[in-house]
A and B are shown apart, each in its own frame.
Chain A
Amino acid sequence: MDLSDKLISSFLAFESNVNVNTPVHEIRSEAIRNFERKGFPSKKQEAWKYTSLNSLQKTDFSIFPKGEQTLEYKDVKRYFLHEIDTYKIVFIDGVYSSYLSETTHDGVDVCLMSSALTKPMYKQVIELYFNKVASREESLTNLNTAFSKEGAYIYIPKNKAPRKPIQILHLATGNEAALMLQPRNLIIVEENAEVQIIERHQSLTTNEVFTNAVTEIFAAKDARVDYYKVQNDNASATLIDNTYIDQKGNSNVSVHTFSFGGKLTRNNLNFYQRGERIESTLKGVTILGEKQHVDHHTLVHHAEPNCESHQDYKGIFGEKSTGVFNGKIIVDQIAQKTNAFQQNNNVLISDQATVNTKPQLEIFADDVKCSHGCTIGQLDEEAMFYLQTRGIPRKEASALLMYAFANNVLESVRIPELKTRINKLIANKLGVSLGFEL
C-alpha cells in the first residue's frame, strides 16, 4: 500500500478520535475528498517539475503519534534560540510538550491549535479564519487540512504586541522508524498589532521524518508580522512547508527562510494582498551540500493598488545539491501602481550541483513597476585573490565572500540574537570559523 492509500484509509480512524460535530468536520471531509481526487503531486505538474516526491510515497510512515514523549531540556536546548526570553510552543513527535513550552493567555493567545479547534470560546475565530486562506486546490495542503488537529494557535488582539518573540519548535525523537507529521498553525494578528515568530523543525536521530506543515497567517489593517523559518534539519528529514498569508491594508509581513539542512525541503510561500499600501517581504538564504534539495515556490498576488513586494533569495549550492526557485508575481488589472521586485542569485560551487530557477511575472495592469533579476555564477576569482594577498586562507576567503553574498538577506532580520545564530549556522555549514561577528 502506498502512502496516499494509507492516508486515505486512515482518515476514518483519525475522525473517530476527534469531535465530528463541528464545522471543521465538513472542511476536513471535503479536504480528504480533494486529496483523494488529486493524490500526491507528480513531476508532470508544472509546479512540481523539479521536485519529485516518489520515494516518499514508497516509505511506510506512521501517521499517528504515539502519545507524549519526554525529553530533557538540556538535550534539546541548542535547538532553541535560548539566548533571549521567548514564548515557546514545543511539539515532540507531533504531540504538545507542556514541560518544554511556555504559552500565555495574558492579553494575547499563544497556545495550541487543538484547543482552538475544540473549545467553544474559540468557535467564532475558527469559523472566521480556519482554512480561509489555505488553498483548497493544492493536494498537500488538502492533506494537511484533512488531518488538521494540532499546531500553534496565536491570536494577537488589536493594538497589542506580545512581550517577547514566539518560538515554534517541532522535535522528532526517532522512536518511530519513519514518522509523518502534519502540524497546522493559525496566526491571527489584528489591527495595528505586532508579532515576531521563529519556527524550526528538528529531528533528533537519522530516522526518517516527513513533515507536511500548513500555516495560515492573517494580518489585519496596519498589522506587522515577522516570521522566521529556520530549516537546518538532518539528512533524513523531508519538509513540505505551506504558508498562506492574507494581508489587509497597510499591513507589513515579512518571511525569512533559512534553508541549510534536510534531505528535501519544499517551501510554498503564498502572499495574498487584500488591501492597499501593503508591503510584503520574502527573503531567503539557502546553503546546501551533499544531495540536499531545496525548492522555494513563492507567489505574490497583487490584487489592490499601491502595494509593494520585495523578494530576495540567495542560494549557494555545493556537492550534489539541487536548488529550485520558482517565484511568481501576479498583478491584477486593478492593482495599478504596484511595485514588485524579485531577485534570485545563485552561486554554484560544485560541478555536480544543479540550479533550476524560474522567476515568473504575470501582469495585467499597465501602471506598474515590476522587475525580476536572476543570476547563476561563481565567486569572483579576483576578489578571492585579493583576500588571499591579505593573508586570508582560501577557504576563509571564500566563506567571507559567501557571507557578503548572503548578507542582504540577513540585514533585515530584526532579532539580533537570531542573526548571530544564523551567522553561526552559516559558518558551520561552510566549515569555517571566522572568529568575528558579521
Chain B
Amino acid sequence: MAYTEEELKKELETKEYEYGFYTDIESDTLPKGLNEDIVVAISKKKEEPEWMTEWRLEAFRVWKEMEEPEWANVTYQKPNFQDISYYSAPNKKPKYNSLDEVDPELLETFEKLGISLEEQKKLAGVAVDIVMDSVSVATTFKKTLAEKGIIFCSISEAIQEHPELVKQYIGSVVPRKDNFYAALNSAVFSDGSFCYIPKGVRCPMELSTYFRINQAGTGQFERTLVIADEGSYVSYLEGCTAPMRDENQLHAAVVELIALDNAEIKYSTVQNWYPGDKNGSGGVFNFVTKRGLCEQNAKISWTQVETGSAITWKYPSCVLKGDNSIGEFYSIAVTNNYQQADTGTKMIHLGKNTKSTIISKGISAGRSQNSYRGLVQVNSRARNARNFSQCDSLLMGNQCGAHTFPYIEAKNKSAQIEHEATTSKIGEDQIFYCNQRGIDTEKAIALIVNGFSKEVLNKLPMEFAVEAQKLLEISLEGSVG
C-alpha cells in the first residue's frame, strides 16, 4: 500500500475501533452504588471467608476518606462512583471441564477476538484464564500446571483454596490505602487471577489472561496476585479488548507481583480498551495500580503496549528491596484522537547493587496527549545502584502533545543514574536518507515507526508479540505498512 504521512494521519483519524461488539449474556448484576452493604454483598456472592470481608470493609472505609487524585496530566469528567454497578457475573455458571460445555455465545465472542481456545491449547501452549465480566469462566491447562505444583486460578478460587497464601501476600505490595483507586479496588474487586510458582520451578508455558468488559455500566475491578517463590520463573501475559460503549467505563485494577529470592517475573500487557470514538466521546477510564516487589537477586520485568482507553493512568513499578535485584520497564504508549495517557514507572532502589532500566516510547497522533511520568529513587543504603532511562516521543500531526515528567531522586554517592528524553517528528533527513537508498517515502515512514517501537516490541514474549503487532497495526503501524 502506498501511503504518505498525510494519508496516514487521515486514516488514523477515521479509524474506528475494530474490536467493538457486544455479547448478550444474561448477567447477575448488583444494584448501582457503593456502600458497606454492597461491599458485604460482593463478598457474600463470592462466598468469601470473614477475614476477606473485613479486609474489604476496611479498604472501603479508607477509600471513603480519600480524594480522587488530580496531579496527572489528564482531564476528564470524573466518574460518579455511586452510578456504577460494582458486580456483574455471567449467571449461567456451571463448572466447565471442557470447552463443549461453555456457552456458545461466549465462545463466539472469543472467536471474534481471535482467541480460539482450542487453537491456543494446541498451538501456542498457552493456558488461558479468561475473565468475562469479572468472573473467570474457563481455565485451561490447569492439569499440566498442577503437576509442577503451580497454582493458576481465579483470585476468588484462591481465597477459597489457598487462603494462607492470599492472606500473607494480598495488599503487601499495594497496600489498601496506597491510593484512591487501589483502595476502591481493594473494597470491591470482583475477580482476577492468582498465580503461585513454587520454589525452583520454571513455569513451562506463558500464563495468560484475557480481560473483557462486557456488561453495560459495570466497572471492572480486577485483582491480580502473582507470587514467584525462591528461584522460580514465570512469564505472565495480560491482554484487554472491550466492546464499544458510549458511556465511560471505569477500570481500576490492582496487580501485585512478589518475586522472592532469585525469582524472576516477566509481566507483559497489551491494553486495547475502547478508546472512545474520534470525537472523544466514550472510551474506558483505565486507572491501574501495578507494583512488584523484588527480594534478593530477583528480577521483575514489565512490558506494556498501551493502545487503548480514553484515559490511561498507569505506573507499573518495581520496589527493588533485595540486594542485586533488577527492575525493568519497557513501554509503548500510542494515543490517537482525544485519548490521554499519563503513564510511566517507579523504580525504588532500596537494596545494594540494584539495577533498573526504563525504556518508554510514546507516539501521539490526532488531538491526543501522551505523558511519561516516572520516578527513580535511590535510597541511602542502595549502594552501587544503577539506572538507565530513556523516553522518546514521536509526534504525528501538530495538534497532539507529548510530555515528560521524570523525577529523579538520589541519596547515595555511589548511584549512577542516566536519563535522556527526546521529542521529535519523523525527520525529513531520515526520510531523505531512506529515499537516497532507494526506499520510497511510504516505506521509510513505516520503517521509522517500526524502528521506533521495536526496542520494546522485542521484549514481548513470542506468543504475545503477534497479538501486540496486531494491535499496533490497528492503532498505527499497520496503517503505514
Contacts and interface: CB of A to CB of B under 8 A. Distances in A.
Nearest to A365: B398
Contact of B419 (A333, A354, A366, A373): A373
A360 B416 contact: no
A375 B421 CA distance: 12
Contact of B406 (A346, A358, A363, A375): A358
B421 A376 contact: no
Contact of B397 (A353, A366, A368, A372): A366
Interface stretch (B22-30, B80-88, B179-187, B407-415): B407-415
B425 A348 contact: no
Given A371-B421, A375-B419, A358 B407 contact: yes
B401 A363 contact: yes
A333 to B, nearest CB: 6
Interface in A197-214: none
A108 interface: no
Interface in A350-368: 350-368
A178 interface: no
Given A336-B398, A351-B380, A372 B404 contact: yes
Nearest to B409: A356
Contacts of A355: 408-410
B400 interface: yes
A329 to B, nearest CB: 9
Interface residues of B, number: 35
Interface in B91-122: none
A357 B425 contact: no
Contacts of B419: 359, 372-375
A376 B403 CA distance: 22
Interface in A311-352: 333, 336, 346, 348-352
Contacts of A351: 380, 412-414
A354 B409 contact: yes
Given A348-B413, A351-B380, A356-B409, A366 B421 contact: no
A346 B410 contact: yes
Contact of B398 (A46, A333, A376): A333
B422 interface: yes
A353 B71 contact: no
B246 interface: no
Contacts of B399: 333
Interface string B417-450: 1111111110000000000000000000000000
A353 B403 CA distance: 29
Nearest to B401: A364
B420 A371 contact: yes
B395 interface: yes
Contacts of A368: 395, 423-425
Nearest to A46: B71
Nearest to B383: A351
B408 A361 contact: no
B304 interface: no
A427 to B, nearest CB: 22
B283 to A, nearest CB: 22
Nearest to A331: B423
B207 interface: no
A407 interface: no
Contact of B421 (A353, A361, A367): A361
A254 B127 CA distance: 61
Nearest to B415: A376
B393 interface: yes
A290 B409 CA distance: 19
A361 B393 CA distance: 10
Interface string A230-247: 000000000000000000
Given A361-B423, A362-B401, A362-B403, A356 B413 contact: no
B425 A376 contact: no
A359 B402 contact: no
Interface string A110-132: 00000000000000000000000
A401 interface: no
A366 B413 contact: no
B298 interface: no
A356 B408 contact: yes
Contacts of B404: 359-361, 372
B396 interface: yes
Contact of B408 (A46, A336, A357, A364): A357
Interface string A152-169: 000000000000000000
Contacts of A362: 401, 403
Given A333-B399, A348-B415, A378-B416, A366 B425 contact: yes
B21 interface: no
Max chain A C-beta neighbours (<10 A), residue from B410, B413, B420? B413
A414 interface: no
B207 to A, nearest CB: 37
Given A354-B410, A360-B406, A361-B404, A372 B420 contact: yes
Given A336-B398, A359-B419, A361-B423, A349 B407 contact: no
B278 to A, nearest CB: 19
Contacts of A349: 413
A377 to B, nearest CB: 5
A369 B421 CA distance: 11
A299 interface: no
B412 to A, nearest CB: 6
A359 B423 CA distance: 13
A416 to B, nearest CB: 34
Interface string A243-261: 0000000000000000000
Max chain B C-beta neighbours (<10 A), residue from A348, A352, A353? A348
A370 interface: yes
Contacts of A367: 398, 425
Contacts of A374: 406, 408, 417-420
B385 to A, nearest CB: 10
Nearest to A326: B407
Nearest to A351: B413
Contacts of B411: 353-354
A291 to B, nearest CB: 14
Contacts of A333: 398-399
A359 B399 CA distance: 23
Interface string B322-346: 0000000000000000000000000
B418 A348 contact: no
B406 A359 contact: yes
A375 B422 CA distance: 15
Contacts of B421: 359, 361, 371-373
Contacts of B393: 361, 363
A57 B412 CA distance: 30
A351 B400 CA distance: 42
A366 B396 contact: yes
B233 to A, nearest CB: 32
A350 B355 CA distance: 20
A42 to B, nearest CB: 15
Nearest to A333: B398
A186 B410 CA distance: 38
B402 A363 contact: yes
A7 B48 CA distance: 60
Contact of A378 (B378, B400, B413): B413
A370 B398 contact: no
Contacts of A356: 407-410
B172 to A, nearest CB: 28
Nearest to B408: A357
Given A351-B414, A355-B410, A361-B404, 6 more contacts: A348-B415, A360-B406, A361-B421, A362-B403, A365-B395, A375-B417
30 contacts: A333-B398, A333-B399, A351-B412, A351-B414, A353-B411, A353-B413, A355-B408, A355-B409, A356-B407, A356-B408, A356-B409, A357-B408, A359-B419, A359-B421, A360-B406, A361-B403, A361-B404, A366-B395, A366-B396, A366-B397, A366-B398, A367-B398, A369-B423, A372-B404, A373-B421, A374-B419, A377-B416, A377-B418, A378-B414, A378-B416
Closest 3 CB pairs of A and B: A366-B395, A348-B413, A376-B417
